Amino acid sequence: WNVLTGHAMTRISVTRRQKEVVVWCVAMLSDNTIVSGDSQGRLTFWDSTVGEQIESYTTHKADVLSIAVSEDEKNIYCSGIDPIISHFIKIEKAQGHEVKTQWVKHVQRHIHEHDVRALLVTDGKLLSAGVDGYLTFSSYPPKWVMRVPHMIPTPRSSVCTKKKLLLLRYSNHLEVWKLGSYATSESGDLMINNIDPRESDDDKQNNDQIEQDTAVNEINKLANRGEKLSLKLIENPVKLVSIKSKHKKQIQCCAMSPSGEFIFYSSDSDVRMLKLDTDDLDDDQSNISVSKLYLAGLTGTCDRVAFTDDSRTMIMHSDGALHVLFIDPEAGATVIQTVTGNKMLKTTSIIHLLVSKKTPSGSTYIIVGDANGVIEVLVDNKKEFVPHITLPKYQ
């Protein structure tokens, strides 16, 4: 199309042998060459001036969904439903007094498990993403790959240091782990295991095997050392319990009390509070019981939650209000105070909720912050939490 006139300049037919072909992605090069990826798994180069095909390659067994071109236009990558990433390089051949260019397949890489939907080349690195949920960085040469997994919003974990418990949050379930123990020498120093760096066997892999992440110390040469260090364990971590959300709904927030006694989580439709009985954990790690606690005075869901240091008070944020709940290990939790945004707080939606430890004077502080940089501090006056100070904002 001519952008100025709005008229079609060239029409290119991609039908093959009277079979309908769907073009899923295109790229335009500075020499007026059009690159297309279609439903037949073909990468095709076209002369946009006359609308003729220059060359075509069957690169994949299924649809090609994405194409990426390097900044110097000497490298092209393509991938799609068949997650193999094909790399083409541009070569120049002299024919008489003329120099002709040709695109040649270079390497194929298998670094995704499912459909690849997006490709981008920047600073000599290829960024790829798709159905498997990983944002993947790769290059060749040197040949390396690094995957960045999708991270659910914070908070993603909670720790009970007293009992060495770790609460991990996943999309629709929670896991409680008992952390292991590490060895120390007679002088009290940590004992370290030396692990030989993982040998790179990328060149030995074929396209039927997915490439593994390159070892971190091979990428950035941490501390310029040729070894990996790890603590020597005398007790391995153990998963104690897995808790699934009601109807497998996505969990919005979760927290474990500092005593390791209570677990709270919220989905988009309901809230749950559980009591975790770990009294006999040292004797029998399989003797774990989980019971449901009653929550009184709550309506709606929750997006932030925190416990006081004594694990007897819980503060949660819901629909622009802070709810303070008193926790009875037997009777459950009851709302004893509600702090609304239009009365005490200047913010109605928060992204941070922190509860301080009790100060030497016996005071406990609640700190909330919103996306606009407003930070409010409330203090316990022995009866209820009241506004204490609004921290200044700086440009």
Read off the CATH number of the domain in which 41 is found: 2.130.10.10
Give the angle subtended at the CA of 10 by the CAs of 8 and 16, to the nearest 5°: 125
pLDDT at 341 over 80: no
Residues 293 and 314 in one domain: yes
Residue 326 banded pLDDT, cuts 50, 70, 90: very high
Residue 166 banded pLDDT, cuts 50, 70, 90: very high
Q: How many Å apart are CA 349 and CA 343, to the nearest integer?
A: 14
Residues 167 and 28 in one domain: no
Residue 321 banded pLDDT, cuts 50, 70, 90: confident
Question: Based on the structure, what is the number of domains in the chain?
Answer: 3
3-state helix/strand/coil string of 174-231: EEEEECCEECECCCCCECEEEECCCCCCHHHCCCCCCCCCCCHHHHCCHHHCCCEEEE
Q: How many Å apart are CA 123 and CA 111, to the nearest integer?
A: 19
The pair phi, psi for residue 222, each rounded to 5°, is -55, 125
Could you list the beta-strand ranges (E) of 39-130: 42-47, 52-58, 64-69, 75-80, 85-95, 98-109, 116-122, 125-130
51 vs 201, higher pLDDT: 51
Residues 62 and 198 in one domain: no
> What are the helix and strand counts (H, E) for the chain?
1, 33
pLDDT digits (tens, 9 = 90+) for 266-320: 998 889 999 998 776 665 666 788 999 999 988 788 889 999 999 999 999 988 8
Last residue of a domain, one of 193, 211, 235: 235
Give the residue-averaged pLDDT of 327-344: 85
Last residue of a domain, one of 190, 219, 235: 235
Could you please report the per-residue DSSP string of 300-330?
A: S--SEEEE-TTSSEEEEEETTEEEEEEEETT
Mean pLDDT of the chain: 85
pLDDT at 214 over 90: no
Contacts of 373-379 with CB under 8 Å at 24 or more apart are 374/346, 374/347, 376/345, 376/346, 376/347, 378/322, 378/339, 378/344
Q: Please list the residues that pair with 166 across neighbouring strands.
A: 159, 177
Residues 276 and 313 in one domain: yes
Q: How many Å apart are CA 318 and CA 100, to the nearest integer?
A: 66
* Domain-embedded: residue 17: no
Q: Are 263 and 273 in contact (CB under 8 A)?
A: yes
Residues 34 and 143 in one domain: yes
pLDDT at 229 over 80: no
Residues 206 and 176 in one domain: no
Residues 166 and 223 in one domain: no
Residues 38 and 80 in one domain: yes
Strand, helix or coil at 25? strand
With tokens 């922190």, the residue in question is 354
* Domain-embedded: residue 321: yes
* Domain-embedded: residue 81: yes
Q: Are 229 and 192 in contact (CB under 8 A)?
A: yes
Range of the domain at 375: 157-180+236-390
Give the residue-averaged pLDDT of 58-67: 94
pLDDT digits (tens, 9 = 90+) for 106-157: 999 999 989 999 999 998 899 999 998 889 999 988 888 998 887 776 778 9
73 dihedral zone (left: phi>0; alpha: psi -120 to 50; beta):
left
pLDDT at 15 over 90: no
pLDDT at 186 over 90: no
On the 0-12 / 13-18 / 19+ scale of CB atoms within 10 A, 4 is exposed
Most confidently predicted of 95-99, 180-184, 239-243: 239-243
Residues 163 and 213 in one domain: no
* Domain-embedded: residue 8: no
Last residue of a domain, one of 127, 148, 169: 148
Residues 209 and 292 in one domain: no
* Domain-embedded: residue 13: no
* Domain-embedded: residue 10: no
pLDDT at 366 over 90: yes
* DSSP annotation of 299: -
* Structure confidence at residue 197 (pLDDT): 46
On the 0-12 / 13-18 / 19+ scale of CB atoms within 10 A, 173 is middle
* Domain-embedded: residue 12: no
Residues 228 and 245 in one domain: no
* Domain-embedded: residue 11: no
Contacts of 12 (CB under 8 A, 6+ apart): 34, 46, 48, 51
Residue 241 banded pLDDT, cuts 50, 70, 90: very high
Residues 45 and 30 in one domain: yes
Query: And the tokens for 372?
Result: 């606009």
* Structure confidence at residue 41 (pLDDT): 93
> pTM here?
0.61
